[in-house]
Structure 1
Amino acid sequence: MSPPRSLQQGTRYRAVIAATAAMTVSALAAGCSVANSNHSDAASPDTLRIVLPQEPPTLEPCDASLTSTGVVVRSNITEPLVERNADTGDLEPKLAESWEQTSDKVWTFRIRPDVTFSDGSVFDAADAAFSIDRTVNSTIGCDVDGYVFGDDALVVAAVDPSTVTVTTATADPILPLRISFVEMVPTTTDAQDKVRAPIGTGPYRVDYWDHGQRLSLVRNDTYWGSMPEYTRAIYQWRTEGSVRAAMVTNDEAELATYLGPEDGAGDLGVAYPNNETTALRMMATEPPLDDYRVREAIDYSVNRGGIVKALFQGLGDPAAQLVGSSIVGFDPDLQPTPYDPRRAAALVAEAKADGVPVDREIRLIGRTGQFPKINETIEVIQNSLSEAGLNVKIEMMDTAGQMQYQIRPFPDAGPVLLMIQHGNQAGDAQFTVDQYMRSDGYQSYFGTAQYDAHIDAAEQLVGDARQDAFAAVLADEPEEVRQFAYIAHMNAVLAKSPSVRYEPNSATGDEMRLSEMTRADTNASG
C-alpha cells in the first residue's frame, strides 16, 4: 500500500494542540467538574481507586491513542468495532460481529445488534459511520487520525442499520487493524469540536471530573456485554512514583501504574512488559544536528546498558529499534549501538574542524513523569553529550508543553533532542514508521525520499514478506536517516492491592480494562 501523503497536515496537527488546550481552559473556567455532587474517595469494596502518573489531558475518544487518555477511555467508556488481543495479536469482534474485504478497496463490517449507548440510545451502523468519519475525515485534530491514518481520507457509508462499508483510496490490507483504534460514539456527538465527557457503549460512563483532583467512572448498568464487578472507578494522579506506590501500600488506592522498581511497592509490585520503547529523537533540520556525524556521536554517547542496569534496575532491555519483539517488523538480529564515548568525541571534533557549530546550545527536552527515573536518565545523557563536546541544556516540561515538540507542526525553536516513549499499540511496524520515520510523519522531524520509498514498498506486503520488509526498513534507519538514538525496551511495575485480581499485559499502559478486574474475595478469576 502506498497511501497518499498531504503536505497540508499542519492544520490537523495544530488542532490537536489547540483543542486540548481549549478543553483544559474550559474545565478550569467551569469549576472543573462534570457533575455537581459530594465526591468521596472513601474505601469501598465496590470501588476501584487507581492512581496514574498524570491527569488525562482529555477524555475525547478520538484522542484515545494518547496513552494518558486511552488508559481511561478505551474499552471502559467507549469501544471499537474490532479490538486487538494483546496476547495473541489477533483481531477479535467487539461492536462488529464480522468483517470482510468485499473488493480491493472496500471493507464491510457487520454491526452487533442490541447494543446501546450509556445514554440509552441504540448503537447502529449510522453511529459507526459517523464515528469513523468524525475521527478520520474531520478537521477537529484527532490524535488517532494522525497516529493511525495520517492524512488518508476514507469514504464511509451506512448501507443499512447493521452494515458499514469503508472505502480506501488504495487497497489497504490492514484497514480493520486501523479501524480498531476508532472508538464508537453516537451521532449526537459534536462533529465540529472535541468533547469533555463522551458517551460510549462501554461498561462505564463518566460520573464526574474534578480537574486537577480526580476523575470518577461509574458502571453503565445498561451495558450490552458481561457486567463488570466494580461499580465505580476513581482515578487520581501523582507525579512521583514513590507516592503512587505508597498510596497502594497505605490502602489509599488499589492500583498504581508506571512505577519503577525503587518506588517501594514491595511484594505488591507486579512487573510486566509495557510495550514502550524510549529513544532520543533528533531535530536534524537545525545545526549542529543537521550533521550526520553529530547525530552518530549522540547515538554512541548513550550508555544503554548502564541506564537499564543502574536506573531501571534491569527492568528493560537496551534497544536497537523503535519497536518491541511483539511487533510485526521487529528484527531480532539488530544489535544496540555500543556505548563508545571516545568515538563520539572524535566525531564531534571532526565535525567542529569542518566548521559545524558544535558549541551551539541544544535543548534536551523531557516530560515530567514520562517514565520512572526520567530525570536521572536525562541527566546521565546530558553528561555524556557534554563529555563528547556538545552544549546541551535540559528542559523538563508537563504533557501540554512537551506535546508541542512531539507532534507537527513543531515550534521553530531548535535544535532539539526530544525524549520520546513509543508504544506501538497496533502490533504492526507500519504504525511506527509512518508517524516517526516518514519524512512527513506525524512525529517525525525529517526523512528522505529514498527511505519513504522503502516504507511504501513494505506497506504493500502481507505475511512473512511484510515482516521481512519492515525488518529491513528498521535496520536501515540508522544508515539512511539516523533520526533516533534508541535507548531501551521498557518494562513497568504495577502496584496492586491484595484485594484485586488483575493480570497486566503489554497493552496495560495504553488500555487498562476495568472489566478485567475483580475482587480477590470472589470466585471470579482475573
Structure 2
Amino acid sequence: MKRSLMSLGAALLSAVHLAVPASAQNASKDVTIVLGEGVDLMEPCMSTRSNIGRVLLQNINETLTEFDVVGDKGLMPRLAESWDQQNDSTWRFHLRKNVKFSDGSDFDAEDVKHSIDRAMSKDLSCETPRYFGSTKITATVVDPSTIDITAEPKQAILPLLMSIVTIVPSDTPMQFVRDPIGTGPYKMAAWNVGQNIVLERRGDYWGDAPQVEKATYVFRTDPAVAAAMVQTGEADIAPAISVTDATNAETDQAYPNSEVFYMRIDQGKPPLQDKRIREALNLAIDRQAFVGTLVPAETTLATAMVPPTTLGFNKDIKPWPFDAEKAKALIADAKADGVAVDSKITLIGRSNLFPNVLEVMEAIQSMLTDVGFNVDLQMYEVAEFEDIYGKPFAEDRTAQLVAAQHDNARGDPVFSMFFKYHSNGPQSGFSDPKVDQMIEDATAATGEDRAKKWSDLFAYLNNDVVADVLLFNQVSFARVNPRVTFKPTIATNSQLQLSQVGFK
C-alpha cells in the first residue's frame, strides 16, 4: 500500500471545508443515503448482492448469526442467542424469544426452517446457495425456539454460513417478493422504482432502538453528484464517491472494502481455452498504471479472489507483472500451433460498478488490443449484467472476459470458491476435476488444515489454471455529513446498518 488509508485526513488538511446549510444542521433524525446503483429487487434471499444488501441486510431482514468483520468479536448472535454442535454434521440453534416480524407475526423456528428451505429451493434463483456449494442443508424444528441445522457433507463453519441466510416469515411465497417482511429494526415504507426507497423505524423491534427514525435511499450514477449532495446538505451519507471528489478532510473518509475486481476468463470458447492466451491476458495489463490515476493510490494488486484478511490467503503468490513483449510472444506461439488468436473477445463490464469504471475498462481494452487481441468492449446495467455473469451461458456467445467485483467480508474462502471455480459453480468459467476436489476437501477441513488447503487452491488457480485476470483489492471513499456519525468499514461495501448511524 503506497500510503496508509488513515493518512487521508492529513493529505487533505489544506482542502476547503464543506459549507453545510442550516437545513442540514437541524435536529431531524431522518437521513438520506446516496447510492451509486439502483435496486432492481428487494428480495431478502438476494441480499448478498451489495446494492440490495446495503438497504436490506440487518435493517429489514436479519440473520441467525452475524460476523464482526472489523472488530475482534468474531461470530456474534443475532436472531440466534447461542448454538452448539450436536455431531459432525448438525448444529443446534437456540432462538430469541418475543421477537416479531414487521407485519406483527411472531418469529419462531418454523420461520427459520422456511427461510432456509426457500433460500435453497431450486424454484427460486436466490444467491444464497452459491455460498454453500454442493452442501445440502436440512433444517429440523425441535421446538418453537430451537432448530437443528444439518449439513451434508459436514460443514465445519455452518454457524458462519448462517450469517448470510436472511430470515422471512413462514408464509412468504416461493417467489421473489417486492415488499420484504423481516425482524429487523426497520420496515419498508415506500419503494419508488428508479427513484428512492424509504425505510421507517419500527416501534416493536426486539433490540435497542436505532437513532435513525427514517432513511431515504436515492440513486445517482455520477459519484460527483453524490458527493455534491452531501456537501449541500441534500444528503447525509454517500458511501462510494470518487477519489477525485474526496477533497474534504472533515467529511471524506477512505476505507478498504472487501471487493476484488477481476475479469473472469471464459474457457469454454476459443482462443481462451489455451493457457498461453490466458497468461498473455494477464501479462498485457499494466495494473500499476491504474493505481493513483483511475483507482485510488491506496489500492493494492489482487492475487486471489478474496482480500488478504481471508483465511488461507497465500502471501507467496505475486501479482502478474506487466510484460507486453512476452504477451505478444505467447500469442504468436499459440497462433503457430493453430489457435484462433484473432477470434473476437468480448470484454464485458458493469456500469456504475465503481467510480471511473468505464475509463478503467477502456484502458484495459486498449492494453489488450496493443498486444494483438481482438477485443470489443460492452457495458451493461446491473440486471442485464447479472444475466451474462451467471449460468447458463449463451451457447452463441463470443469468447468473454467478464469484469466484475466479488465481495467476501466474512473471513473464509467458502463464501467464494464453489460458485466462482467449481465445475457446478454458477459463475465458474471453466471445469477442472482437481479444482473441484480441492474445493470440497478444503470446505470439509478445519483449523490449520483448512487454511493450508485454501492456500494451495489459490496457488493452483493462479499458477496452473490461470483462471482469471485478477486486478485490484478495492478501496472506497465515503462522504459523511458532519451532522451525523458514521464510520465506513470493510463491511460497508455489502451492508450499511442504520443502527451504526448516529447524530452529533
* Residue 222 of structure 2 corresponds to residue 251 of structure 1: no
**CA deviation after TM superposition for structure 1 residue 379, in Å:** 1.1
| Mapped partners of 2:133, 2:452: distance in 1 | 23
The structure-2 alpha-carbon separation of the partners of 1:368 and 1:181, relative to structure 1 and needing over 3 Å to count, comes to same
1:266 aligns to what?
Answer: 248
Identity %: 36
1:198 aligns to what?
Answer: 180
2:209 aligns to what?
Answer: 227
One-letter code of the match for 2:91? W
One-letter code of the match for 1:250? T
Q: Please give the secondary structure, in 2, of the residue aligned with 1:309.
A: coil
Q: Please give the secondary structure, in 1, of the residue aligned with 2:168.
A: coil
String of CA shifts for 1:315-370, please: whole Å, max 9, x gaps.
31011111111111211222101011111111111112222121111100000011
* Residue 110 of structure 2 corresponds to residue 126 of structure 1: yes
One-letter code of the match for 2:201? R
Matching residue within 394, 405, 417 for 1:421: 405
Q: TM-score, normalised by structure 2?
A: 0.92
* Residue 359 of structure 2 corresponds to residue 376 of structure 1: yes
Q: Please give the secondary structure, in 1, of the residue aligned with 2:114.
A: helix
Q: Please give the secondary structure, in 2, of the residue aligned with 1:154.
A: strand
Residues 46, 229 of structure 1: 8 Å contact kept: yes
The structure-2 alpha-carbon separation of the partners of 1:305 and 1:156, relative to structure 1 and needing over 3 Å to count, comes to same
Matching residue within 49, 53, 68 for 2:32: 49
1:218 aligns to what?
Answer: 200
1:162 aligns to what?
Answer: 145
Q: Please give the secondary structure, in 2, of the residue aligned with 1:280.
A: strand
| Mapped partners of 1:58, 1:120: distance in 2 | 23
Q: Please give the secondary structure, in 2, of the residue aligned with 1:177.
A: helix
**CA deviation after TM superposition for structure 1 residue 180, in Å:** 1.1
One-letter code of the match for 2:106? V
Residues 447, 481 of structure 1: 8 Å contact kept: no
2:464 aligns to what?
Answer: 480
| Mapped partners of 1:396, 1:377: distance in 2 | 12
**CA deviation after TM superposition for structure 1 residue 265, in Å:** 4.9
Equivalent positions of 1:27-38 (< 5 A) are: none
The structure-2 alpha-carbon separation of the partners of 1:145 and 1:89, relative to structure 1 and needing over 3 Å to count, comes to farther
Residues 296, 475 of structure 2: 8 Å contact kept: no
1:287 aligns to what?
Answer: 270
Q: Please give the secondary structure, in 2, of the residue aligned with 1:45.
A: coil
1:209 aligns to what?
Answer: 191
* Residue 287 of structure 2 corresponds to residue 304 of structure 1: yes
1:454 aligns to what?
Answer: 438
Structure 1 segments of 4+ aligned residues over 4 angstroms from their partners: 41-44
| Mapped partners of 1:42, 1:495: distance in 2 | 16
Residues 246, 264 of structure 1: 8 Å contact kept: no
Q: Please give the secondary structure, in 2, of the residue aligned with 1:435.
A: helix
One-letter code of the match for 1:487? L
One-letter code of the match for 1:352? K
The structure-2 alpha-carbon separation of the partners of 1:42 and 1:183, relative to structure 1 and needing over 3 Å to count, comes to farther
Residues 438, 452 of structure 1: 8 Å contact kept: yes
One-letter code of the match for 1:55? G
Which stretch of structure 1 is more off in the superposition, 345-354 or 335-344?
345-354
| Mapped partners of 2:186, 2:298: distance in 1 | 33
| Mapped partners of 2:462, 2:316: distance in 1 | 15
Residues 136, 149 of structure 1: 8 Å contact kept: no
* Residue 26 of structure 2 corresponds to residue 61 of structure 1: no
| Mapped partners of 1:194, 1:440: distance in 2 | 24
1:79 aligns to what?
Answer: 62
Matching residue within 99, 110, 114 for 2:83: 99
| Mapped partners of 1:170, 1:437: distance in 2 | 19
One-letter code of the match for 1:204? Y
Gap runs ≥5 in structure 1: 1-40, 521-526
Residues 135, 182 of structure 1: 8 Å contact kept: yes
Residues 440, 446 of structure 1: 8 Å contact kept: no
| Mapped partners of 2:196, 2:128: distance in 1 | 25
| Mapped partners of 2:394, 2:214: distance in 1 | 41
| Mapped partners of 2:165, 2:118: distance in 1 | 10
**CA deviation after TM superposition for structure 1 residue 246, in Å:** 0.9
Q: Please give the secondary structure, in 1, of the residue aligned with 2:164.
A: coil
| Mapped partners of 1:151, 1:453: distance in 2 | 11
Equivalent positions of 1:14-33 (< 5 A) are: none
1:238 aligns to what?
Answer: 220
String of CA shifts for 1:141-180, please: whole Å, max 9, x gaps.
111122x223543221111111001122222111111111
**CA deviation after TM superposition for structure 1 residue 260, in Å:** 1.9
**CA deviation after TM superposition for structure 1 residue 266, in Å:** 2.6
| Mapped partners of 1:59, 1:265: distance in 2 | 34
Which stretch of structure 1 is more off in the superposition, 428-437 or 306-315?
306-315
2:16 aligns to what?
Answer: none
Q: Please give the secondary structure, in 2, of the residue aligned with 1:205.
A: strand
Q: Please give the secondary structure, in 2, of the residue aligned with 1:306.
A: helix
| Mapped partners of 1:306, 1:410: distance in 2 | 32
Residues 362, 414 of structure 1: 8 Å contact kept: yes
2:120 aligns to what?
Answer: 136
Residues 404, 411 of structure 1: 8 Å contact kept: no
| Mapped partners of 2:25, 2:216: distance in 1 | 10
Residues 502, 518 of structure 1: 8 Å contact kept: yes
* Residue 477 of structure 2 corresponds to residue 493 of structure 1: yes
| Mapped partners of 2:98, 2:411: distance in 1 | 30
Which stretch of structure 1 is more off in the superposition, 482-491 or 153-162?
153-162
Equivalent positions of 1:500-519 (< 5 A) are: 500-519=484-503
1:313 aligns to what?
Answer: 296
**CA deviation after TM superposition for structure 1 residue 66, in Å:** 0.8
Residues 246, 477 of structure 2: 8 Å contact kept: no
Q: Please give the secondary structure, in 2, of the residue aligned with 1:266.
A: coil
Q: TM-score, normalised by structure 1?
A: 0.88
**CA deviation after TM superposition for structure 1 residue 472, in Å:** 1.2
Residues 344, 398 of structure 2: 8 Å contact kept: no
1:438 aligns to what?
Answer: 422
| Mapped partners of 2:410, 2:427: distance in 1 | 16
Which stretch of structure 1 is more off in the superposition, 257-266 or 130-139?
257-266
Residues 451, 480 of structure 1: 8 Å contact kept: no
2:4 aligns to what?
Answer: none
| Mapped partners of 1:315, 1:420: distance in 2 | 20
**CA deviation after TM superposition for structure 1 residue 181, in Å:** 0.7
Residues 135, 153 of structure 2: 8 Å contact kept: no
One-letter code of the match for 2:39? P
| Mapped partners of 1:264, 1:163: distance in 2 | 48
* Residue 109 of structure 2 corresponds to residue 111 of structure 1: no
The structure-2 alpha-carbon separation of the partners of 1:426 and 1:134, relative to structure 1 and needing over 3 Å to count, comes to same
The structure-2 alpha-carbon separation of the partners of 1:300 and 1:284, relative to structure 1 and needing over 3 Å to count, comes to same
1:186 aligns to what?
Answer: 169
